[in-house]
Amino acid sequence: MVGGRGLGARTLRIYLPLSVCMIAMLFPFYWMAITSIKPNRELYNARIMPLIVHQPTLKHYYDLLTETNFLTWTYNTMLVAVVTTAVSVVIGTMMAYPLARLRFPGAAVIAIGVAATYLVPQPLLFIPMADIINRLDLGNTLSAVMLTYPTLLIPFCAWLLMGYFKSVPRELEEAARIDGASRLQAMVRVVLPLCVPGLLSAGIFAFTLAQNEFLYALIFLAKSEVRTVPVGAITELIRGDVFYWGQLMAAALLGSVPVALIYSFFVEYYVEGLTAGSVKS
């Protein structure tokens, strides 16, 4: 009886809240999935239970892949996200390391400036950004968003990585310097391996933000051939007051697959990096 009470209390304290949170988080994906496989006669019939599919179909996926440039949008999105993430993580690392590990006048002011730059709203920046892109004649090219996305991602990566760099004991780096390593070698061989969780976190978040960015892509990418998934789906699957819900949900579901795969693939390395970093330190 004691064991049964303990199991019941554990269920109420842990499993019940976890189940509620899991249902709340997975429900949007379930709604997207069932909406994407519903025929139009079920989508617009209020008498049918909305959470059940009676006659599933893949017509919305077929129409999305054949009647729109969804595959091109996906390629553009992945290319832009990968390039901007790589650039942002590298430059963010180069910015965060001296602010966290070196002592020089004005370091604290610069660190606050980096955080403040990340907090500036996008609507305040897109007007000067648009002027720069027009002067460089980069409109309707992927280079336009590849140049503008890092302005948001680099401050975020630097701000996130500064905390990880500060957590590494200085004695390890000083020991490497005593053994003859340069400052760059000490950073690459000592500090960065211990900050793998931070690098992965910065990369994953930067990739997610770059993939889901909407404002700059909407302004700079007007042609269908160079659009990304968020902009292409909204602009071409919503025509006036007509919403193509089946194709919209199919595009949203397929667009979320790369991020889900990246998170599931890197979570093991993220935990391994946390464990290795704690053991080494």
Query: Domain with 275 in it: what CATH number?
Result: 1.10.3720.10
User: In angstroms, rounded to a whole number, what is the distance separating the alpha carbons of residues 150 and 159?
Assistant: 14
Tens of pLDDT, residue by residue over 169-221, are 888 888 888 888 888 888 888 888 888 888 888 888 899 889 988 989 988 98
- Supply the Cα-derived Rg of the chain in whole angstroms: 24
Domain membership of residue 248 (yes or no) is yes
Domain that holds residue 149: 67-280
Whether the CA torsion 175, 180, 182, 186 is positive or negative: it is negative
Q: Examine residue 52 and state whether it is found in any structural domain, yes or no.
A: no
Q: Is residue 3 part of a domain?
A: no
| Tally of residues, the chain | 281
Please tell me the least confidently modeled range out of 6-10, 120-124, 171-175.
Answer: 6-10
Spatial contact of 249 and 35, defined as CB atoms under 8 Å apart: yes
For residue 86, give the 3-state DSSP assignment: helix
**pLDDT the model gives residue 122:** 79
| Ramachandran bin of 50, using left for φ above 0, alpha for ψ from -120 to 50, beta for the remaining angles | alpha
Tens-place pLDDT, residues 28-42: 889 999 999 998 888
Q: What pLDDT does 73 receive? A: 94
What is the predicted pLDDT for the residue at 273?
46
Q: What is the count of structural domains for the chain?
A: 1
Is 30 among the domain residues? no
Name which of 209, 198, 212 is nearest 92 in CA terms.
Answer: 198
Asked whether residue 172 is domain-assigned, the answer is yes
Closest residue by Cα to residue 149 from 133, 136, 134, 161: 133
pLDDT-based confidence at residue 261 (cuts at 50, 70, 90): confident
Whether residue 23 is contained in a domain is answered as: no
Q: Residue 268 falls within a domain, yes or no?
A: yes
**H helices then E strands: how many in the chain?**
16, 2
**How far does CA 68 lie from the centroid of its chain?**
24
* 216-220, Cβ contacts within 8 angstroms, sequence gap of 24 or more: 216/122, 216/126, 216/129, 216/144, 216/145, 216/148, 216/149, 217/145, 219/126, 219/130, 220/130, 220/133, 220/138, 220/139, 220/140, 220/144, 220/145, 220/148
Phi-psi region of 120 (alpha: psi -120 to 50; beta: other; left: phi over 0): beta
Domain annotation covers residue 167:
yes
Who wins on pLDDT, 106 or 89? Answer: 89
